[in-house]
Structures are given as structure tokens and as C-alpha cells.
Amino acid sequence: MTLTLTVSDDVRALAPGFTHVAIEAHGLVNGPSNEAGSALLDDAARRLAERLDGRAPHEDPHMAAWRQAYAAFGSKPSRTRNSAEALAKRALSDAGLPRINLLVDLYNAVSVAHLIPVGGEDIDRIEGGMRLSRATGEEDFVTVAGGEETVEHPDAGEVVWCDDAGVTCRRWNWRQGPRTRLTEETTSGIFLLESLAPMPVTEVAAAAAELAELLAKFSPGADIAVRAPEPSA
């Protein structure tokens, strides 16, 4: 059954240049990070360096647009960077990109290479559909702090991804909750690629095609469907 994804009118009004592409995949095979995934991350860092050509990630026009969007809903973009900028910063540092697990490594590689926020959720852990909306401030976001499970609440007006159980990702694509993240046991996932103008829709579509190819390569026989890009009206 296809997972329902909706974007609220208030988010579309906030960022009229927003586009997202979703990849739904079943029959995935995940596992620990391996040499092949690590090589993809290293290549992504190389592609990023070529793309930036000496600039800082936030100087890229697409990242600048995300900073403006974050500021528009009251977040400080220099402190809470979108996921692509945060990964890009890591990729260019001595620490390099983290290795999480194979599926996460695949979508992180595509995110860094294209400078597009990409997220992955375990469909079997999602309750109902997923919605991108502006928070009331009363929603629950279950996370872990100091090794203990804790419940936070987003700021009123903050852009969040939610399902029927609560917030799955805060500040649009800044911080994913552990409840729905991809683990080594994940077999069904939804992958979201998110872009803002001035990035052409064709570029986010190309990034989605690259990720779909990687998922098929590392999970032969998986049922993978790429949905058409959904730009804001």
C-alpha cells in the first residue's frame, strides 16, 4: 500500500519554490556500513568539493534558499542547518562523513553529491500517512537525550514532518526522530528528496533517479517506485 504524503497549504505559502520527490521501496536489504557504501560517500565528498569550487556550503544558492526558509519560520539557520548543509560541512571537514548503515549511507551520499536534503523513514514504523505542516507547538517529538528517551515539542510555527503518532522530523529536515529511522532490520522505506528554488526540478529528479539506482543495486529484487516531483503550486 502506497504511503500517503501531504504538504500543507501554509508550508507551500511559506516556501512557494518547494519541491519534493519520494521513493517508496519494499524488499530492501540493509546492514552495516561496508566498503562499497563508504566508497560512495568518499566519491560524494569529492563531487561536492568540485561543485562548491572553494565556496562554503552555505554560499551555494540552494543552501542559501534553505537558510531563508528556515529563517522564515523562526529558526536560526546558522545554528540549525538543514540536513544537506550539515552533511556537506562534515564532508569537507577532517572528520569526514559518518558511516551509519548501508541504506543511510546511500541516501547521504546522494544528498552530499547533489546538495539536496534527503531523508529516509522506515515505512513499517510510520503510523498513518506523513504530513509536512507548521506545528502548533503541542505535538510530541520523541527523541533521546543523555541516553534516555525524552519528549520534546516543536516551536509554534516550526515546519515539521509528522505521522499519526507525532513528529518524525523537526525543523523540516534538521533532526529526525529515532522512532522511524532506518535500521539494519529495515525492509521497507520511504526516501524524501527536498528542494527549493532556484534548484531546477530536473536536478532533484536526477538525484532521485540516482538514489533509486543505488537502492536497486544494493537490494536486488526490491520493489522501488519513484513518484513524480511534486512542486508547490
- In eight-state DSSP terms, residue 27 is S
CB proximity list for 94: less than 8 A, separation 6 or greater: none
Inter-residue contact 174 to 83 (CB < 8 Å): yes
Question: What's the confidence (pLDDT) of residue 1?
Answer: 53
CB proximity list for 78: less than 8 A, separation 6 or greater: 58, 67
Dihedral angle, C-alpha 26, 169, 47, 206, nearest 10 °: 50
pLDDT profile of the chain (233 residues), mean per 10: 90 96 98 98 98 97 97 93 97 96 98 98 97 97 90 97 97 97 98 97 97 98 95 64
Q: Give the CA distances from residue 59 to residues 51, 55, 205, in Å, rounded to whole numbers and listed in that order.
A: 11, 6, 23
Question: What's the confidence (pLDDT) of residue 189?
Answer: 98
Predicted model pTM: 0.96
Residue type at 35?
A: E
Between β-strands 5-7 and 130-134, what pairing exists: parallel, antiparallel or unpaired? Answer: parallel
Inter-residue contact 206 to 28 (CB < 8 Å): no
Q: Give the CA distances from residue 19 to residues 16, 137, 200, in Å, rounded to whole numbers and listed in that order.
A: 9, 25, 9
Question: What's the confidence (pLDDT) of residue 232?
Answer: 63
